[in-house]
Structure 1
């Protein structure tokens, strides 16, 4: 399965697009009525508003990204489990024994991360789930990428992460 055919079942529609950005499109997360954060995603990634966030994919289909506001009554672990279930539905075989957790930050916001190695129909892949705390809310950022293609998209991913800002 090419990642470009992947549409996660966790997500459905609602974000505001801002067309003035030179980088791509600015999304208000989780939506225009209740924004906690904004993020810019390259237009070539064809970002789409989804329920409580945005999803996008690199033009070559090797890198998938979703950012959603979550962690409500389910809890963060439930969001991680739901992401793993969704990946299994899309025939991504994850190897739980490779799971690594960590703490860090994205553009100054504290994060907790889970990184898991796996395999999809294109070969070895990696899934990283970042739990980002912003304004006492949680964003779940999911990256799913083909290991051999990561270096091609590192600059774009870095720019996306640096564009993440708390909404005013």
Structure 2
């Protein structure tokens, strides 16, 4: 028994990606959705949502629930302003892509651009949206470095697939 527990602890220490993911509620006080985020991404609560970053700093996501499409548009505008003005990120407007898709039975919309910063280099910057009930929309803002992005794509897919509406 002790050997099994020791082996499990060792595996989880050596391979943090295998560690169980923590379920976060959005918003925390009156949840409209839950999402599983690996503990290694160290999710942090803020006033409006959850910020999480891959251990290698390749991917950053910010999750929040908004009341309607007007608020969703405001989130996009504020996030792009924050990136370009506060962090000197250059967003290439000509690379804008939009896509609607389905994952694990959930309908999503995506808007993304290529961007670049002196500090982080080239990246994909975007927003994912999915309705979580009662007109509310889960908004995921993301930044994924183009260098080494494949390291985080599988985990990001699992995070996005884990979204569940709270009745």
TM-score grouping bracket, smaller chain normalisation: 0.7 to 0.9
Spell out, residue by residue over 1:52-107, the C-alpha distance to the aligned partner (whole angstroms, 9 max, x if none). 32110011111101111124484322221111111112221101111111112343
* Cα offsets for 1:108-141 (capped at 9, x unmatched): 2222211100102232111120121110211110
Distance across 2 between alignment mates of 1:93 and 1:126? 11
CA radius of gyration, larger in: 2
Is the CA contact 2:97–2:112 (under 8 Å) kept in the aligned structure 1? Answer: yes
**2:3 alignment partner in structure 1:** none
Partner of 1:163: 162
Q: Is structure 2 residue 147 aligned with structure 1 residue 112? A: no
- The equivalent residue for 2:52 is 56
Q: Kindly indicate whether the alpha-carbon contact (under 8 Å) linking 1:124 and 1:147 is maintained by their aligned counterparts in 2.
A: yes
Contact 1:109–1:134 (Cα < 8 Å) also in 2:
no
Contact 2:132/2:166 (8 A) holds in 1? no
The answer to whether residue 39 in structure 2 is matched with residue 43 in structure 1 is: yes
**Unpaired runs of at least 5, structure 1:** 1-21
Residue 99 of structure 1 contacts residue 115 of structure 1 at CA under 8 Å; is this kept in 2?
yes
Q: How many residues align?
A: 146
CA 134–51 in structure 1, closer or farther in 2 if over 3 Å, else same: same
Give unmatched runs, 5+ long, in structure 2.
Answer: 1-18
Which residue does the alignment assign to 1:9?
none
1:84 equivalent in alignment to 2:80? yes
Hey, which bits of structure 1, 4+ residues long, moved more than 6 A? Answer: none
Q: Superposed, which structure 2 residues align to 1:1-168 within 5 Å?
A: 23-31=20-28, 33-72=29-68, 74-88=70-84, 89-121=86-118, 122-135=120-133, 136-168=135-167
Q: How high is the TM-score relative to the length of structure 2?
A: 0.80
